[in-house]
Structure 1
Amino acid sequence: MARILAIDFGSKRTGIAVTDELQIIASGLTTVLTADLLTFLEKYFSQEKVEMVLVGEPKQMDNTASESEISIQEFLNKFSEKFPEKELKRVDERFTSKMAVQTMIDSGLKKKKRQNKALVDEISATIILQSYLYNKR
């Protein structure tokens, strides 16, 4: 089996999470500058077998697309051109940032560490991936 990779796309930073090869456990991988995202993915895909990429889909409470969806669509178009063989799926990412901060609080991280937005993005990507794995079962 190959890994599943999840992306919490942001205008400045993008959180990335990945499964193990058996697609059982979701783990935070890193946070990269969004401008460097395609380059990072190209390198990662050359080193690891990834069968699917999940991209968070931000929605408003009334189920309409978030303002950031325009930037995400631009990324998705570039991604599909560069990696046509990779399967892409969208996953609802409402509340993942709030859940990430709550996870940090629950795990006992000090306030200074909880202010690390890169860590929040990475945890958000992990939550996106974990919810996909849970719903897949």
Structure 2
Amino acid sequence: MGRILAIDFGKKRTGIAVTDELQIIASGLTTVTTDNLIDFLKEYISKENVELFIIGKPKQLNNEDSESEALILPFLEKLTKEIPSIPFQRVDERFTSKMAFQTMIDSGLTKKQRQNKSLIDEISATIILQSYLYSK
């Protein structure tokens, strides 16, 4: 089995999380600048066996797509073109940023550490991935 890699896509930064090879545990991997996301993914999959991308789908409370979806759709087209060998699935990402922030508080991080937006993005990607794993 290959790893599953989750993407919490953002305008400036994108959080990345990945499973172990048995697809049991979701772990935060890193946060990359969105401009470098495709290059990062190509490099990562050249070293690791990835069989699926999970990409957050931002929704509003009324279940309509959020404004961020307009930024994600062009990325999905580029991803499909640049890395056609790995399929992707979408997962509802509502409240993941709030859950990530609460996770940071529960973990005992200081206020200064909780202001690290890159860490929030990475934790959000992990929550998206864990949500997918639970649903399997």
If the length of structure 1 is used for normalisation, what is the TM-score?
0.99
Q: Which consecutive aligned stretches of 4+ in structure 1 deviate over 3 angstroms post-superposition? A: none
Could you say what secondary structure the match of 1:130 adopts?
Answer: helix
Residue 85 of structure 1, CA deviation:
1.2
Per-residue displacement from partner, 1:32-55 (whole Å, max 9, x unpaired)?
000000000000010000000000
Structure 2: 5+ residue stretches without partners: none
Residue 87 of structure 1, CA deviation:
1.1
Per-residue displacement from partner, 1:62-118 (whole Å, max 9, x unpaired)?
000110101100000000001111110000000000000000000100000000000
Mapped to 2, the partners of 1:87 and 1:80 lie a distance apart of 8
One-letter code aligned to 2:135: N
Matched residue pairs, number?
A: 136
Answering whether residue 73 of structure 2 is matched by residue 76 of structure 1, we say: no
If the length of structure 2 is used for normalisation, what is the TM-score?
0.99
Give the share of equivalent positions with the same residue, in percent. 69
Answering whether residue 93 of structure 2 is matched by residue 93 of structure 1, we say: yes
RMSD across aligned positions (CA)? 0.4
Q: Which residue of 1 aligns with 2:37?
A: 37
Mapped to 2, the partners of 1:84 and 1:38 lie a distance apart of 12
One-letter code aligned to 2:128: I
Q: Which residue of 2 aligns with 1:105?
A: 105
One-letter code aligned to 1:25: I
Q: Which residue of 1 aligns with 2:67?
A: 67
Q: Which residue of 1 aligns with 2:115?
A: 115
Per-residue displacement from partner, 1:102-137 (whole Å, max 9, x unpaired)?
00000100000000000000000000000100111x
